[in-house]
Structure formats: structure tokens, C-alpha cells
Copies of this chain bind each other. A is one copy, B any other.
Amino acid sequence: MKKGLKIVTIGGGSSYTPELIEGFIKRHAELPVRELWLVDIEAGKEKLEIVGEMAKRMVKAAGIDCDVHLTLDRRHALQDADFVTTQFRVGLLDARIKDEAIPLKHGMIGQETNGAGGMLKAFRTIPVVLGIVEDMKERCPNAWLINFTNPAGMVTEAVLRYGQWEKVIGLCNVPVMAVNTESALLQKEEKDLFFKFAGINHLHWHRVYDKSGGEVTAELIDKLYGPDADPGKIVENIRDMRFLSDQIAQLGMLPCPYHRYYYMTGNMLQEELEEAQHEGTRGQVVKKLEESLFELYKDPNLDYKPKELEQRGGAYYSDAACEIINSIYNNKGTQMVVNTRNRGSVSDLPYDSAVEVTSLITAHGAEPVHFGAFPPAQRGLLQVMKAMEELTVEAAVTGDYATALQAFTLNPLVTSGDVAKVVLDELLEAHKTYLPQFFSTELAPVGD
């Protein structure tokens, strides 16, 4: 009989941690987490202690049987873990700020999961995640890796292809929020609707059906993106930018908020440029938000997740991670939208790639609900972005400069040619400390 679960959270000093704690507390009846290890690095020690103490207060206030451990020793923490969650940021928010500012300076969108910035984030993050996987092979070879470090799709691809590790699920809050928003808009309960998502992380489309068997996708497109729609602020960290209503209607599917970067590139760039001049880039804004969050967390009387966290932009991420863990542990077969190996479920993408697709979460992992083939408007963008991801992941692992340049060229948010090279060079130099693979004189071995 299983005694209880050991969870290890890499990047435990993150401001998101209270949501994760709350998630475990509210599922305690069916999900017996007995040990929670919050792991961070030396540079994050202070934050780890602040958020760790608060986590302990939350657990104590909830009166549940769960020990919270704080440590900088990752390998020790991983020993015999059941689930490992990852939510760290290599180079902290300062790195993000550079990812945003440098491309913008050269007239390109600066964004932390798309465009040049997102690709640099992949270069910094993937080697660290592959290091965690190596530790897991040694310390907890039966554990599941639940990743919500961005870019979550490319990280999943790297873990599957180069880490040779199958027990991984990548996670994003975008589908969760779409389901919430659209259910509310239709004035129906989530259980009375059927949502079918497919694509890759931050670039997926979905269709929605109701209980009568009818498809309500067109109705939702009209309500959300039609000529008379008032979309409101859908995702905290994406601007409230209207789509071209003709274009969305032609898709016959609902886009994700990040489609704005690809469908409204000119407008998004314009807005970013203006925003950078006034309030600062998103990274600069978030940095201030985080500082005030940590001020809150220091309050020795705070023993619950403060409302302010929701404005942070990552709401539902940690809660979704808890739900996945719960569904795996209890073989619930819950429908969730996750990053997993394609295996043909999205016909237009390579069989072995990572995709983000509606799946049943069972005791043995994610079983994709089959999606099939896309029409050309979706297919073309999806295929070029997946190729871009493959090249980015390869460059992240090998440190090959030309591969990185190729990935930049494919990304629709990067202007190709000399300017692409200039931006790449400047970004590599700016993040040099975190990119030994690009600066080492020795050849890095390519996996696969």
C-alpha cells in the first residue's frame, strides 16, 4: 500500500509556489502529498526562504499531514521522488528583460516565449532541464516530470528527444483559461461542453461542442472575435489586441491568445514599442509585481494564497500541475490539454514530436484524443513553427550557431538576413553566462 507522495519542485522559490501549495491542500483528500521539497539555487536562496516559510504556514493552517523541505541540494531532494515539477527561470527576470528589449531595439517583437526572446529562453533552459532529467534517471527513475517552465513545448520536445525520458508532461495555463472563459460566455458548465485542442504550446486551435451534439465554435468565434465582440483582457501577459474578424472566422476554429503574435504581428510590435517607452517591457512590469508579491509573502501572518498573485499572469498553472498529478495518481482519465509526444494524433506534425493536445490523463500518462489533419491556414503556420522548435531545441543542445540562425530565420517574428544575425549575436553575448554550449571550444555531442 502506498504510503504517500513525495513531490519535488525545482525553482521552489518562485512566486507561483503558493498556488501550488493551495492546489495540494485542496486536493488533500484524494492526493496524499506527504513530502514537498522546494529546491532552488544559491542565487534564489532568499526568495526560497520567504516563499518556503509561507508554504509551511499554509500547510500548517490547512492542518494537513505534509512536510515542507527547503533545499539547495537538488540531487538529494530528488531521491525517491514520485513527481518532479519544474518552474524555474534561468537568469531570473533580468534575463527576460533582455530577451524582450534586445529584439525590440532591432524592430522585432520581444516576448519571452515567442520570437527571438523565447528562443534564447529555450537555449538557457533546455540544458538545465536535461540536467534534471539525468539526475532523475539516477535518483527517481520512476518519477513523472511535470514541467511548466517555458517554453513548455520545446522543453517537452527536448526531454523526449534528447533526454530520452518518456514520463514527462508539459503544461500551460492558456487552455485552462480558454475553457473557463468560453464556458462562462456560453453560460454553460464545462462538463456540458466538449473541448478539442490541438497544436503546439502557445500555438494551438480548438473546437467546442455542446451537449446537443452541435458545434458551438462559430458562435464562440463570433462572440469573442466577431465584428461586434468586446474581447476584454483574456490572458494577463498578452495585450488586449483584436484579431481581424474575417481571418478568425475563416479558420473555423478558435485561436489561442498567442496567435496575436503571428496574426497581428505589425500591431503587436507597435504596441510593444509604445509600452516599452512608457511603462517598460512586460518583464520590467512583472519584476515590480514580483517584488511586491514577495513583500506580501514576508508577512508572518499570511497563510493563504493572496489574491494579488492572480494578476501575476501565471494563474492556473500550478493548479493545473496539481490536477495532472492527481489524475495520474488516481487514474482519473480527466480531459486536459497537455504537451506530450504526438504519436500521430496531430496528423500534420512529425510522429515523435511534442504536441499540445486534449488528452486523457491516466495512471500511465497522457493519452491524446485524436485530432487529425488541419486545413491549410492552420497547417502552414503550425508546421513552420514546429520546424523552428526542432531547430531551436537542437541548437540549445549542441550550441551550433548556424542551427540557431536557421531557427531564427524560420521564426515569423524574426526578420531574416543580417539583422537576424545581429540580434542573435547580441542576445548570445548578453546571456553568455548561461550559454556555455555556444561558447565552449569543445564540440557538444548531439543526442538522439
Contact = CB atoms under 8 A, between A and B. Distances in A.
A391 B376 contact: yes
Contact of A266 (B343, B365, B390, B415): B415
A370 B373 contact: no
28 contacts: A194-B363, A194-B367, A209-B363, A212-B363, A214-B363, A244-B421, A247-B402, A247-B405, A247-B406, A250-B402, A263-B416, A264-B416, A264-B417, A265-B415, A266-B415, A266-B416, A267-B417, A344-B370, A347-B351, A351-B372, A360-B369, A368-B369, A368-B370, A376-B387, A377-B406, A380-B384, A383-B383, A383-B384
Interface in A188-245: 192, 194, 196, 209-215, 244
A381 interface: yes
A343 B373 CA distance: 8
Given A381-B384, A388-B380, A402-B250, A367 B196 contact: yes
A166 to B, nearest CB: 12
Q: How many copies does the complex hold?
A: 4
B330 A211 contact: yes
A85 interface: no
A435 interface: no
Nearest to A386: B380
A420 interface: yes
* A192, A211, A403, A406 pick with most chain B CB within 10 angstroms: A406
User: Nearest 3 pairs between A and B by C-beta?
Assistant: A380-B387, A250-B402, A383-B383
Nearest to A368: B370
Contacts of A406: 247, 250-251, 377
Contact of A409 (B247, B249, B365): B247
* A265, A330, A421 pick with most chain B CB within 10 angstroms: A265
A362 interface: yes
A244 B417 contact: yes
Interface in A335-349: 335, 343-345, 347
Contacts of A211: 330-331, 363
A60 interface: no
A416 B373 contact: no
A262 interface: yes
B344 A417 contact: no
A419 interface: yes
Interface of A: 192, 194, 196, 209-215, 244, 246-247, 249-251, 262-268, 328, 330-331, 333, 335, 343-345, 347, 351, 360, 362-365, 367-370, 372-373, 376-377, 379-381, 383-388, 390-391, 394, 400-403, 405-406, 409-410, 412, 415-421
A263 B383 contact: no
A301 B204 CA distance: 60
A220 to B, nearest CB: 15
A357 to B, nearest CB: 8
A209 to B, nearest CB: 4
Contacts of A385: 380
Nearest to A378: B387
A401 B250 CA distance: 9
Contacts of A347: 343-344, 351
A210 B266 contact: no
